[in-house]
Structure 1
Amino acid sequence: MMEEICGAKLGNMVHRAKPYVLTVGLQFGMAGTYLFTMASLNHGMSRLVFIVYRNAIAALTLAPFAFFFERKVRPKMTFSVFMQILALGFLEPVVDQGFTFLGMQYTSASFASAVMNAVPSVTFVLAVILRLERIRIKELRSQAKVIGTLVTFVGALLMTLYKGPQIHIFHQANTSHHQGGSQSPHTHWVIGTLYIGMGCVAWASFYILQSITVRKYPAELSLSSLICFMGALQSAVVALIADHHPRAWAIRFDSTLYGPLYTGIISSGIAYYIQGLVMQSRGPVFVTSFNPLCMIIVSALGSFLLGEHLYLGSIIGGMIIAVGLYSVVWGKGKDYANDASPSTTITKETETQQLPITSPSNK
């Protein structure tokens, strides 16, 4: 009897910890996205071609798993779901990745990851407007989510507006981003921030729409592969118009190959699957609230691997963001503990039919 009780408690703890483990692991994988992408762009690869290869690789990687593991549970495709998948393929692969990578070329990988920390704030606002997120201002958990969102946004804003003295941790001499042309560095920084901000809004909208679509089409692997496939097709049209020269599509055995491979398999393929899996039980705000962790990882690795400068403002902003992150996650944890929603039952019924999720979390 005692063994059964201990086993039940352990199983409950694993079940409750799974969304946190998956989402934290996802942030480590997403941190590599900025680094591999920046390395590929620095080697002269077209950002539009990069997006096409990334999503095509993701679709090819996920399709066999989706066919095998979800062939018996895959729901029927409807016109409304197809249009939502088409919109998802446009929002994330085309708009978000296109503008974010363009802004990254004007600034740096660590700066782009910092600005993208506004995603939880934008997602929270959109979720409240669309009534996907419940706010009762008299409840402590709702106050924690609101205050945490504001604190996170303030921390990201501080990183954007205040640099402060440069911190020499790894003593790298060169920076990874370039600022060619006749424009001043300040102009580049403003333009880059604008582009990344547009990508931020597109990414938040993608999270919201994905959380809606996955309820109508609860086959995460199939949905992820379809999103990547549609994104590859739409971005290919844009790339063929903008970069129709054959040399723009050439890849070599360097970061122009490793970048699309990594981002396609990890950042688009596995990331979309994990996001959909966690969103079924915790919602889009929970997933995006962990994004600041990615910024901290990118800032450290960017300074060491790419020689990007690390400033005092980034460190202070990261600490503020961590406080806001904890507040939002605490509020969402209280929501999950106190509410018995139908989506929890659906998740438990479908977990036995899904692809094992132990390997994606071990990045």
Structure 2
Amino acid sequence: MGIGVGGSVLDAARPAAAMVAVEFIFSALQIFIKLALDDGMDVRVLVAYRLMFGAAFLCPLAFLIERKKRPPLTVKVVTGLFLCGLFGITINQNLLVLAIKLTNSTTIVTALSNLTPQSTFIVATLTRMETLKLRKPSGQAKLGGTLVGLGGAMLITFYKGPEMRFLRRLAHTGLSHATGDRQLRQQPAAGSRILGSFLAITSCFSYAIWLTIQAKVGQVYPCHYSIAALVCLFGALQSTLLALCIHRDADHWRLGLNIRLYSSAYAGIVASGSAFPLMSWCLRKKGPLYVAMFGPLIVVFVAVMSSIVLDEALHIGIVLGAVLIVAGLYMVLWGKAREEDEQEADAPKLVGQDEELGKESLPHAKG
């Protein structure tokens, strides 16, 4: 009896532990990216190498796991995957990494990246995939959450506020001293910080467009590993061509046993290769709303790790804006969950109405 209860508790805790691990992996990725940029690595080259490593890891994995159930590729599916690579990988990742470079802050960019649900709601509304149901609590919550989240983004973008020093008092490594001194010498101008923030917000809309396209592709090509591998492959080709158009000098592409290689390998193999299977497993077990609820954890992880490892300053404006973004995120998620409940509640009513209409039309049909 005790073993059964313990086993059930362990089974229930596994999805939560997996999502915490996923958010920690992505948090460490932000730190690796910042360290590579501080080392002088070009934004576009970093993204290209990341996707090369990711495609090299995911393609064999997808071939082995889904080789027996993979449907044939059609022109429509390939076009959709190409667009997924363009919006979800190439544009999104280049904007995010450039935003980190311009703001000189992983915490700002990570906080703004939590606008993805609000951005998805806006894109879905503009493309008429979703309608504004302002008379229902679900529609009010989604609209309110979107406005609150955008307000938090504006707060982060335009308000800095006093510095919160308590995290920076923790023990620092020699690496953090070096990066901290470098950061003190390279404080971004206000214009760069604002531009970087808007690029981060734009990347959320690019990601939202990718989600919209991939949802349609997934309906006709239900192979998650193959989709991830092909999207990563297309993104690698697109990002490499973009980087080569700007940098053909071999010095920009040279990798040694340094932070540039470690960052690229971690991003491609660990972040793409390990986090994606964990997230896919959680999606199958618990659904998208459960996975999305863990998104704000990355803000906390990055804020702590950036302060300790990078000696990055944390300002009150970032904290207040992040709180608003997270509050808006949960409002949108609550609205989405409530909408699903409303649809389930309305379904029996619609069935009953159809039956009544059928009974009313029956005598006329006989006549």
Query: What interval of TM-score do these two structures reach, taking the shorter chain for normalisation?
Result: 0.7 to 0.9
Q: How far apart in 2 are the matches of 1:264 and 1:98?
A: 15
**Structure 1 residues 58-94: Cα deviation after superposition (integer angstroms, max 9, x where no partner):** 1121122211211111111110110111111112332
Q: How far apart in 1 are the matches of 2:126 and 2:279?
A: 21
Partner of 2:232: 228
Q: How far apart in 2 are the matches of 1:199 and 1:179?
A: 28
Partner of 1:350: none
Q: Among 256, 268, 273, which residue is 1:264 paired with?
A: 268
User: Which protein is bigger by CA-based radius of gyration?
Assistant: 2
More helix by share: 2
Partner of 2:156: 159
Q: How far apart in 2 are the matches of 1:21 and 1:328?
A: 24
Q: Among 165, 168, 181, which residue is 1:168 paired with?
A: 165
Shift of 1:120: 2.2
CA 1:263 to 1:186, structure 2 compared with 1: closer, same or farther past 3 Å?
A: same
Partner of 2:305: 301
Query: Structure 2 counterpart of 1:128, which letter?
Result: T
State how 1:304-319 maps to structure 2 within 5 Å.
Answer: 304-319=308-323
CA contact (8 A) 1:282 1:336 kept: no
CA contact (8 A) 1:91 1:205 kept: yes
Partner of 2:125: 128
Query: Structure 2 counterpart of 1:58, which letter?
Result: G
Query: Structure 2 counterpart of 1:209, which letter?
Result: I
CA 1:133 to 1:35, structure 2 compared with 1: closer, same or farther past 3 Å?
A: farther
Partner of 1:29: 25
Gaps of 5+ in 2: 345-367
CA contact (8 A) 1:28 1:297 kept: yes
Bigger mean CA deviation after superposition, 151-160 or 238-247 = 151-160
Partner of 2:352: none
1:118 aligns with 2:115: yes
CA contact (8 A) 2:157 2:194 kept: no
CA contact (8 A) 1:115 1:196 kept: yes
Query: Structure 1 counterpart of 2:147, which letter?
Result: L
Query: Structure 2 counterpart of 1:109, which letter?
Result: T
1:206 aligns with 2:222: no
CA contact (8 A) 2:84 2:210 kept: yes
CA contact (8 A) 1:106 1:177 kept: no
TM-score (norm 2): 0.78
Gaps of 5+ in 1: 341-363
Q: How far apart in 1 are the matches of 2:144 and 2:276?
A: 28
CA contact (8 A) 1:105 1:178 kept: no
Partner of 1:56: 52
Query: Structure 1 counterpart of 2:248, which letter?
Result: H
Q: How far apart in 1 are the matches of 2:52 and 2:122?
A: 32
CA contact (8 A) 2:95 2:200 kept: yes
1:245 aligns with 2:242: no
Shift of 1:21: 6.3
RMSD between aligned residues:
3.4
Shift of 1:168: 0.6
**Structure 1 residues 99-134: Cα deviation after superposition (integer angstroms, max 9, x where no partner):** 221221111211211232332221111123334446
The SS at the match of 2:115 is: helix
CA 1:272 to 1:227, structure 2 compared with 1: closer, same or farther past 3 Å?
A: farther
The SS at the match of 1:333 is: helix
Partner of 2:358: none
The SS at the match of 2:265 is: helix
CA 1:116 to 1:298, structure 2 compared with 1: closer, same or farther past 3 Å?
A: same
Q: Among 194, 203, 213, which residue is 2:198 paired with?
A: 194
The SS at the match of 2:244 is: helix
TM-score (norm 1): 0.78
